[in-house]
Each structure stands twice: as C-alpha cells, then as structure tokens.
Amino acid sequence: MNVTVFAAREQDRPQAAALAKRLDAELTVNEAEALQAPLALRIGEEGLSLVGDGMVLRADFVSMLPRLRPGKLQGEMLVRAAKLKGAPSPKAFDATAGFGEDSLLFAAAGFDVTLYENDPVIAALLQDALERAKTHPELASIVKRMHFHEGDSIGALKRMAEADSADEMPDIVYLDPMFPARSKSAAVKKKFQLLHHLERPCSNQEEILEAALSVHPRKVIVKRPIKGPHLADRKPSYSLAGKAVRYDCIVPPPQTD
C-alpha cells in the first residue's frame, strides 16, 4: 500500500522528508493532496498520525495511564495471564508489537520487553509514541524497559534459539496476530479496516508459534478473538477470557538436560 507523507507545520518538513525517504514514500507539502491518498502519514505538533478512510490513528501511551494505576494494572487480564512465580527480573518478547499497548502493560508490570514490528508504517508510529513517552514524567521510567526493533520477529526468535544464551531467552513470548474485526462497533471496524491496509491477517500461524516455542519460554501467550480458533490449532494449557478477546496460555514442559 502506497503511503504519502506530509508535515502539518513548516518546522516538521525535515522530519517528514527523512521519514518519506526511509519508507520510500511520496512526500508532499500540500495537505489537501495528501488527504486524497488512500493512506497518509501526518507529522504535526501531536506527533505522527496515520490518516485514511476518514479516520486518524496515532500510537499514544498517555491514554493508557488510567490502566497503569496501582489497583488497576494487576487486574488487567494480560497482566494476570503473564504472572510468573520465581522471576524477579522477568523478560517478555512481543513478536507482534503493533502500537505497543500490550508491551506497555508488560513493562508497567515489571517486565523487560523486546518488541518487534514488521510493518514499516506501524513501526514508525510506534517509534514516535515511544520517543514522546520518554519525555513524559509518568511514562519515562516504564518505556525505559521497552526495547523496540523494526523487522521480522520470526527470524529474531530463530536466531535467539540458535544462540541458545540463557541470559537472552525470554520468560514469555507474546503473540497477537492480526485477525479480522468481530466487534459490532463501527469505530472498531473502521480501525481494523485501516490497519488491514498495512497488515493482513496472520497466514504463517504454525511458523510463528514454532519460533516462539523454540526459545523455550516459560509461557507463550496468544491473544485471540473470544470465539476464534486456537492459533495453529494448538490447544492451550489454559485460557483467560473476557468479553471480546481471550488469552490462550501455552506452558511448555520444563527443559531437561
């Protein structure tokens, strides 16, 4: 999908030019022209935004602050699914980072998180959110534990498995493969429609699950639609379910020497 990059302010034009070059995207200084494109990346005072289909999407961690408060965070279903015993310095590997909200929950819960996002446009939006969060008084200490990489997480997991370094292995591998929107909310459907211009539903389910298991985590957590099938038809050890999604938790058997 072709993306057009434009700057809302003259002072943002150098950043827009650099981003367009990195993405091999069209650059314009005409906002009206940019908004006629199927997708546009807008750089402005509020950061980097994705514009298309009558919607504006922006990765933003500030809106998640209420969920990070004491008494709220531990009630998050993902945090409950990620609970481990005997892990004073837990590590998580988010193989499908998206806008990074779930990784933020991991980091707020004390995990050191490695994030991978393969789509360059989504990666740019996530990187922008991380940079803005570094200067926020309530988020800076949390995002310090988030280490972002643009690229293929399957390859990264395979390289990690080959290196077989105990210090690098994550305690948890988290998978949130793209799936078709099932919500009846028009806004949610539009959001997924916009993201589906960039990323298609996961077609390599077996490969990504096997890559996750290859690093011998204590747990693989897979986010699924509440009534969706198991990833790669792999029955989980147990699941935590909410109204719209569930977390399938796969607990591999302990390694033997």
Detail the residues annotated as belonging to a binding site for S-adenosyl-L-methionine: 176
User: Which residue, chain included where needed, has tokens 């011998």?
Assistant: 216
Q: Put the strands of the sheet holding 245-250 in their side by side order.
A: 146-150, 112-117, 91-94, 172-175, 219-225, 245-250, 238-241
Token code pair at residue 198: 């960039």
In 3D, which of 120, 122, 78 has the Cα closest to residue 100? Answer: 122
Quick one: CA torsion of 187, 191, 197, 202, rounded to 10 degrees? Answer: -120
Q: How far apart are CA 195 and CA 192, in angstroms?
A: 5
Token code pair at residue 90: 């837990």
C-alpha 63: how far from chain center: 16
Pure H helices in the chain: 13-23, 31-35, 65-68, 77-81, 101-108, 120-133, 140-143, 153-163, 186-196, 205-214
Point out the annotated binding site: 176
